[in-house]
Structure 1
Amino acid sequence: MTTRENISDTPWAGDDQAWWDWYMSLANNPPIDPVRVEPWPVRPQGGAASDQEVLVSLGTPYPLTGDAVEYFRVNGYVRLPNVIPHAVLASLFLRANRLLDREHGSTNPGRFLALEQVWLTDPLMRGVALSRRLGDIAAQLMGVDSVRLYHDNILSKEPGCGRTPWHRDSHHYPLDTSAVCTSWVPLHPIPASMGPLACLPRGDAADALGTIPLSIEDRSYDDLVEAALRSMGATPDATEYAAGDVSFHAVDCFHTAGPNHTTTSRRVLSSTYYAEGSRVVEQPTVLSGSWTTFLPGVEPGGLALSPLNPVVGWSPST
């Protein structure tokens, strides 16, 4: 695993959006050429499901195949088709837009916007974060009896926003376990020009990246990762997302996401899950952001358990 020894353990002093503004500055992003910006229609076709229909759908089991589980365990990520019905997606899309616009306004060119812990205040977003459909997938992929929620997000890569810096989630989540994974739920189709999630499969290339020391002072870490991938001829999987697709990536999965060259916001819901019984690391770093917001009352080294971390998924045998 990438060394964290040079990363400050001073707690993050700002709010979550300030953390994201800072974090995106660690990616080596040339200015986006306006000539390449193109429109992309993202509003889902057809009618939107009612709130009750959304909750029922998100509570229905997904037919996860053995091949999908094996792919995740070999590669550290998997993309699953038709996880979210289109009418449900339309409802979530409209609600996420409303919440983001209320918090940030409707025009934020070049920024990466985030809303975290929205499940605490919005019933529809609560349905996503506490979804048995998604939580059970996470438990099955990781092969654990049950998973708890770390936090949820609405993530919006605004028009002209650059690439997300290369990272593993183990850089950020202060959890002393490898049984952590994150769902990535696009609220609309995501073509290459909009910046889909790009995951590097486990293997020699990912292992080589693990020897690169982290830096939060500048863009050097992102540069070194990019250079290493070029020298090895390694290419991440940046497959476009169709409406309804959902991906899950493990805590050790190296990933990035491309720039948004379109004139429309790229919007995604995301939740992170960890195995029940996990503990917090002894020395969380500044890369963990406002982690005490997600684990209130939990001390470093303590059991990762608070009222904000309900069990949300089980393996079929439990």
Structure 2
Amino acid sequence: MIAKTATVPPLDEPYQLTEEQKVSFRNNGHILLPGVLKREEVETYRPLILQAAQKMNTEKRKLEERDTYGKAFLQIMNLWIQDQQVRNFTLAKRFGRIAADLMGVSNVRIYHDQALFKEPGGGPTPWHQDQFYWPIDTHNTITMWMPLVDIDIAMGMLTFASGSHSKGYVFDFEISDESDQAYEDYVRSNGFPVTRAEKMQAGDATFHYGFTMHNAPGNLSALMREVMTIIYVADGATITAPKHKWQENDHKTWLRGLPVGSQVNSDLNPLVL
């Protein structure tokens, strides 16, 4: 149930993309866009997201008690269905229009949002492809990754293998030590350029395709790396038969168990535009 709280202004004002940015994204599979949120907008939404994430966080173990995945970040999903103010963030037309324009589609739906908070001393995020987890038939999926605080490489900067999205579904590996080594070898053998920003300001955002291979180093700083992400799928995409237990879980959790072959359009997957 959505918390009954006063809402904040929606983020509907468009962000202007150039044709060069669209082409770069489609060629490389990722792009960094500065100032997607203004500083005052970050200052409005950040405490609301932090409050909702803290309320929904179920991870109580110490870092040393967790596996590689657990050490990589605190992961709190679908904040938008629990809190009206976060809903305004996740369903923001500004973000959705960027996602749609980068992919060259008319409209997008929410797959889910997730706060990814890498704690001080948190471990690296292994190489992986997001879309390994998603039983969806389209390559037109995209993730917005937005820091809510200024970050640098020492805090765990997202790192991409440019052009790797062109290979589609590659390995049957969830995020793990095994996936890290397999993708590391694959990226090297295919000669994909590996790139990441030196710094990002709060409100900057990267966008990457679901099949773009990426990782992040550990957080060597004394600060929490506060990142909010939103996953979008092109409107009209259909559900495929799950390939493994992780896709079975996603089918049940984010797609409400809709029949295979039906469109991604459950109540958890609203249109954004």
In structure 2, the CA distance between the partners of 1:235 and 1:93, relative to structure 1 (3 Å rule), is: same
Deviation at 1:163, TM superposition (A): 1.2
Could you tell me which residue of structure 2 aligns to residue 119 of structure 1?
80
Could you tell me which residue of structure 2 aligns to residue 74 of structure 1?
27
Could you tell me which residue of structure 1 aligns to residue 90 of structure 2?
129
In structure 2, the CA distance between the partners of 1:241 and 1:51, relative to structure 1 (3 Å rule), is: farther
In structure 2, the CA distance between the partners of 1:145 and 1:230, relative to structure 1 (3 Å rule), is: closer
> Which of 195, 200, 212 is equivalent to 1:241?
200
In structure 2, the CA distance between the partners of 1:237 and 1:109, relative to structure 1 (3 Å rule), is: farther
Whether the aligned pair in 1 keeps the contact of 2:132 and 2:174 (CA below 8 Å) is: no
In structure 2, the CA distance between the partners of 1:277 and 1:227, relative to structure 1 (3 Å rule), is: closer
Unaligned 5+ runs, structure 1? 1-49, 314-318
Could you tell me which residue of structure 1 aligns to residue 154 of structure 2?
193
In structure 2, the CA distance between the partners of 1:87 and 1:97, relative to structure 1 (3 Å rule), is: same
Deviation at 1:293, TM superposition (A): 2.0
Whether the aligned pair in 2 keeps the contact of 1:109 and 1:158 (CA below 8 Å) is: no
Q: Percent of counterpart pairs with the same letter?
A: 31
Deviation at 1:103, TM superposition (A): 3.5
Deviation at 1:109, TM superposition (A): 5.6
Whether the aligned pair in 2 keeps the contact of 1:59 and 1:133 (CA below 8 Å) is: yes
User: Residues of 1 paired with 2:268 and 2:56: CA distance?
Assistant: 22
Unaligned 5+ runs, structure 2? 1-5, 64-70
Q: Are 2:175 and 1:222 aligned?
A: no
Deviation at 1:102, TM superposition (A): 2.7
**Structure with the greater alpha carbon radius of gyration:** 1
Superposed CA deviations along residues 129-149 of structure 1, whole A, max 9, x for unmatched, are 111000011111111111111
State TM-score, norm by structure 2.
0.85
Root-mean-square deviation over aligned CA pairs: 2.6
Alignment of 1:27-176 (within 5 A): 52-53=8-9, 55=10, 58-104=11-57, 110=63, 111=71, 112-176=73-137
Q: Are 2:254 and 1:312 aligned?
A: no
Q: Are 2:223 and 1:270 aligned?
A: no
Q: Are 2:247 and 1:294 aligned?
A: no
Secondary structure of the corresponding residue to residue 299 of structure 1: coil
Secondary structure of the corresponding residue to residue 78 of structure 1: strand
Deviation at 1:92, TM superposition (A): 2.0
User: Residues of 1 paired with 2:51 and 2:83: CA distance?
Assistant: 11
